[in-house]
Amino acid sequence: MDWQTPEDTVPSAFITEANARSILGKPPATGAWREGDPAGNRQFVSLGPMALERGGELPSVHVAYETFGTLDTARSNAILIVHALTGDSHVSGGPGPGHPTAGWWSGLVGPGKAIDTDTWFVVAPNMLGGCQGTTGPSSTAPDGNQWASRFPFVTIRDQVAVQLALTDALGIDRWAAVVGGSMGGMQSLEWAVGYPERLDRVAVLAAPAISNADQIATNSVQLEAVRMDPSFAEGNYYDAADGDGPHRGLALARRMALLNYRSPTELNDRFERSWQSGLSPLGGGGRYAVESYLDYHGNKFTRRFDANTYITLVEAMNSHDVGRGRGGTAAALSRVTAKALILGIDSDRLFPVPEQEFIAAHTPGNIDGTRPHVITSPFGHDGFLIEDHLVGAQVTRLLQT
C-alpha cells in the first residue's frame, strides 16, 4: 500500500520548501528527513556505538521514534510496532510539520481501535538504515558528510539489536507485544526467536522465516535499477541540484516492487485493458491505465524516500534467516515462548501462505495451533496494510490472550 501524495494531504501552512518543489514537479535529490527539518511527532534517543553482526560498528546510532498512549506505572502495557520496508515511525495520526503523509496504520492504532491507545502504550521506531530520522545512509557521518554508499551492511538482527537498545533506554523490561508486517514481520519474528524473555506476544503478519532465492533475485533486479540511474552517482547525490537525484531508478524499482505487493486479480479487475487516452492502443499515442498507475506510485515514492536507504533496507531483507547460527529455521522457531499470531494473506505473491504455514507449524505459542490465520483479500501482500477490519480483529484477538 502507498500513501497519498504530499500535495493531496499537506495543508498550505505546512508546506516546506522541499515539498513546494515537489508540488511544482521537481522533487529534491532525496526524500529523506534531514537534520533541520521539522521533527513533527518524532522523539530522538542516542544509543552510542553499535556493533554489527557482520563485523565493524557504527560509531553512533540515533533512533527516531513516536509514541502513542500512556505507559502505565508497572510499565506492562507497552507494544512495539515495527514498520515495513518503506514505512516509518508515523504509524498513526494526520499529516503535519515533519509528516507530509498520514499515519500508515491509522486504521488499527488509536483510541478505540484494534491497538487501543487508551489501553496500550505504543512505541514505533524508524528502523536502522531508514531515512526518517534514525541513523542511515542519509545521516551525517563523523566526517560531516552523509554516509551515502559508505553506510555499512546491516541485517535484520542489527535492526532488532538497535530496537532492543531503544527498549532498554526507555526502561521497558518486557513488551506486551511486538507487532510487525512484511519486513516488520521479519523483525518481530527475530524478536521472538532472539529475545524470548523480552516479550509476551508477537504478531508476524505476511512475513517469512527466511528470505529465499526467488525473493532475493527479485530484489536484486530492483537494486540494479537504482544503481544504473546515472544520477545515482555511486550513491553520492545528496548535494545534487533539485531534480538531479536518482529518481528514475528509484521509481522503476518501486514499480517493480508494486507488482509483488498487489495481486494479479486486483490489477486485472481494477484496470482490465483500459486505455488512458481516447486513442486506440493499436494506433499508439496513449498508455494503458495500469502503466500510468505504476508510474504515479513510482514517481510519488521518490518524494518521500531515499535511494541509498532503499538499497540498505532491501539488502537487510535479503539477510533475513531466523535459523542462521541457530541450527536451522525449525530449531530457531522452537525457541519462541511468546503467544504468537501468524497471519497470511491468500493472494500474497511476495510472501505466500506456505511461508506462514511453515512458521505456524514450528512455533509453540501459535494461538491457532499448527496453522496460520489466513485472511481472504484481493489486495495481495498489501492486504496487511489495507484490510484494517480483518487484520485488526486478529491483532485484537492476540492482545486478549
CA pair distance 332, 321, nearest whole angstrom: 10
Query: What local confidence, expressed as pLDDT, does residue 266 receive?
Result: 78
The model's pLDDT over 79-128, given as tens digits with 9 standing for 90+, comes to 999 999 999 999 999 999 999 889 999 999 999 999 999 999 999 999 99
pLDDT at 376: 97
How far apart, in whole angstroms, are the C-alpha atoms of residue 117 and residue 109? 7
Q: pLDDT of 5-48, one tens digit each?
A: 322 322 323 223 333 334 436 778 999 999 899 999 999 999 99
Query: What nine digits make up the cell of 396?
Result: 485484537
d(CA 47, CA 276): 51
Higher-confidence residue of 1 and 401: namely 401
Q: Provide the pLDDT for residue 296.
A: 81
Q: What percent of the chain has pLDDT over 90?
A: 80
State residue 19's pLDDT score: 38
What does the pLDDT read at residue 281?
A: 57
Query: 267 or 138, which is more confident?
Result: 138
| C-alpha distances in Å from residue 350, one per residue of 182, 256, 257, 388 | 9, 12, 9, 20
Full-model pTM: 0.91
Q: What is the DSSP pairing of strand 177-181 with strand 78-82? A: parallel
As a whole number of angstroms, the distance between CA 133 and CA 42 comes to 8
Give CB contacts under 8 A, 24+ apart, made by 43-49. Answer: 43/67, 44/133, 45/166, 45/169, 45/170, 47/162, 47/165, 47/166, 47/169
Which domains does the chain show, CATH number per domain? 6-214+321-399 (3.40.50.1820)
Predicted confidence (pLDDT) at residue 272 exceeds the cutoff of 50: yes
Provide the annotated active-site residues: 182, 348, 381
Residue 336, all three cell numbers: 519462541
Residues 144-166 have a mean pLDDT of 97
When pLDDT is cut at 50, 70 and 90, the band that residue 284 belongs to is low
